């Protein structure tokens, strides 16, 4: 069986690892990604706030060596889901099974004025560049703002606002600064009332201005204001942006998308095209766009494909459950577990925050690098 996996994020790495562990050379897996290596989402904030160096958080794909798996660094230029054929700048690939895990592309240029007057911190390059911007910031009005829905890792804007507070405090310029968070959500983490309440309390304790139900649609660089869809304007000296998210253009052009994203069976992750699956941020499966959900979805697809290769049946289905770690600043981390099931309201609970869970988060990261890259990695 030939399996072609597009994208080496949480979903692609978990899927190829699971197939290799179970089937080895019995299956021919090709993993395609245009990037140099993998970076955890939380590592971007670690670099951005000076906790670690950029070269310590990049895990090169050239280190990915697994039985039955071939990694190809290439850009996908066309996808034919009917023929399960993919064109790349490194050649054409065909497969018995195609899995699309290309994530969401980020478009800071889609928000007028953002490129000129703000700084996005959701891409690896953007977060790393923002480290220097923060280092040179003399203090003033900081606005963390979301510019589109849906967006990846819903807790990240809240984490960023709290970490900005810590950063300014450590530099002795918090008293002469203001911090505001602008989000289109009514509460910071809708599936978990407990986590939302804890965050709102943390914002109040730290003097962080909270603006729910607002979407930033434009930055006016001349007047230094962020303009919201409601007409509300927020002045800023430093604007940190969650940029517009869209499915990659090559996915949109494939004909697989409905309303901008790939619809899938919520239990099996199979698309409308037989033998074609999609996992992670590129889908409209109904879970948050976050790596841990892509990982969980990939594990279900892997079990389906392992059973298929062995001529067996499986009744395992996706349960929509995932965890995320939530930075509260001051070395305090909470752990939030949420469940998204089709036809039911999402729900979640929270543990912490505590310094013990900060270590739990580090263990989560190191365990994935050990599993996916067969390497040891310390997040501290």
pLDDT in tens, 202-261: 999 999 999 999 999 999 999 999 999 999 999 999 999 999 999 999 999 999 999 999
* Measured distance CA(233)–CA(327) in Å, rounded: 28
pLDDT at 380: 58
**Strand 85-88 to strand 76-80: parallel, antiparallel, or no bridges (unpaired)?**
antiparallel
pLDDT at 346: 80
Q: What is the pTM of this model?
A: 0.94
164: left (phi over 0), alpha (psi -120 to 50) or beta: alpha
pLDDT at 285: 92
Please report which residue ranges of the chain form alpha helices under DSSP H.
10-23, 41-48, 114-117, 124-136, 156-170, 193-206, 249-252, 291-309, 355-373
pLDDT at 378: 76
pLDDT(379) > 70: no
CB 152 within 8 A of CB 67: no
Q: Residue 111: which residues within 8 A CB-CB, separation 6 or more? A: 147, 148, 216, 217, 218, 219, 241, 243, 244
Rounded to an integer, the average pLDDT of 84-98 is 97
Rounded to an integer, the average pLDDT of 110-120 is 98
Q: Residue 74: which residues within 8 A CB-CB, separation 6 or more? A: 32, 33, 34, 88, 89, 90, 91
* Measured distance CA(103)–CA(245) in Å, rounded: 10
Tokens 């965050």 belong to 199
* Measured distance CA(312)–CA(235) in Å, rounded: 61
Based on its alpha-carbon atoms, the radius of gyration of the chain, rounded to whole angstroms, reads 21
To the nearest whole number, what is the mean pLDDT of the chain? Answer: 95
pLDDT(345) > 90: no
Instruction: Tell me the fold of 2-104+247-309.
Output: FAD/NAD(P)-binding domain (3.50.50)
57: left (phi over 0), alpha (psi -120 to 50) or beta: alpha
pLDDT one-digit tens code per residue, 276-313 = 999 999 999 988 899 999 999 999 999 999 999 999 98
Give the model's confidence band at 338: pLDDT under 50 very low, under 70 low, under 90 confident, else very high: confident
* Measured distance CA(55)–CA(284) in Å, rounded: 33
CATH topology identical between 2-104+247-309 and 107-245: yes
Q: Which of 300, 280, 288, 291 is nearest to 103 (CA)?
A: 280
* Ranges of each domain in the chain: 2-104+247-309, 107-245
Tokens for 163? Answer: 């970490």
pLDDT(342) > 80: no
| Nearest-5° Cα angle at 181, 179 to 182 | 140
Rounded to an integer, the average pLDDT of 52-60 is 94
CB 278 within 8 A of CB 262: yes
pLDDT one-digit tens code per residue, 171-197 = 999 999 999 999 999 999 988 899 999
Rounded to an integer, the average pLDDT of 114-136 is 96
- The 8-class DSSP code of residue 262 comes to B
pLDDT(116) > 80: yes
The CATH architecture one would assign to domain 107-245 is 3-Layer(bba) Sandwich (3.50)
């Amino acid at each position: 069986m030939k399996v072609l996996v597009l994208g080496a994020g949480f979903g692609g790495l978990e899927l190829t690892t699971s197939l290799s562990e179970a089937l080895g050379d019995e299956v021919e897996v090709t993993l395609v990604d245009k990037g140099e290596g993998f970076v955890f989402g939380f590592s971007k904030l670690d670099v951005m706030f000076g906790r670690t160096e950029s070269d310590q958080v990049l895990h090169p794909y050239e280190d990915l060596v697994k039985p039955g798996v071939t990694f190809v660094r290439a850009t996908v230029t066309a996808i034919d889901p009917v023929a399960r054929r993919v064109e790349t700048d490194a050649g054409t690939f065909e497969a018995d099974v195609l899995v699309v895990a290309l994530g969401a592309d980020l478009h800071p240029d889609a928000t007028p004025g953002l490129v000129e007057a703000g700084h996005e911190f959701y891409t690896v390059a953007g977060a790393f560049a923002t480290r220097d911007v923060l280092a040179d910031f003399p203090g003033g009005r900081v606005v963390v703002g979301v510019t589109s829905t849906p967006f990846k890792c819903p807790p990240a804007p809240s984490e960023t606002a709290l970490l900005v507070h810590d950063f300014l405090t450590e530099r002795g310029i918090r008293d002469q600064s203001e911090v505001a968070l602008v989000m289109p959500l009514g509460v910071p983490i809708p599936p978990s009332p407990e986590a939302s309440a804890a965050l709102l309390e943390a914002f109040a304790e730290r003097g962080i201005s909270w603006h729910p139900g607002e979407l930033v649609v434009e930055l006016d660089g001349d007047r230094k204001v962020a303009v919201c869809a409601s007409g509300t304007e927020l002045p800023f000296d430093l604007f940190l942006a969650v940029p517009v998210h869209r499915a990659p253009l090559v996915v949109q052009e494939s004909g697989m998308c409905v309303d901008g994203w790939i619809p899938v069976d919520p239990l099996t992750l199979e698309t409308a095209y037989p033998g074609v699956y999609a996992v992670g941020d590129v889908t409209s499966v109904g879970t948050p766009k976050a790596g841990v959900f892509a990982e969980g979805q990939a594990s279900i697809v892997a079990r389906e494909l392992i059973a298929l290769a062995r001529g067996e049946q499986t009744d395992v289905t996706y349960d929509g459950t995932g965890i995320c770690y939530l930075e509260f600043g001051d070395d305090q981390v909470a752990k939030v577990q949420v469940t998204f099931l089709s036809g039911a309201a999402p729900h979640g609970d929270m543990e912490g925050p505590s310094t013990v869970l900060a270590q739990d988060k580090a263990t989560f990261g190191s365990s994935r690098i050990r599993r996916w890259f067969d390497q040891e990695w310390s997040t501290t």
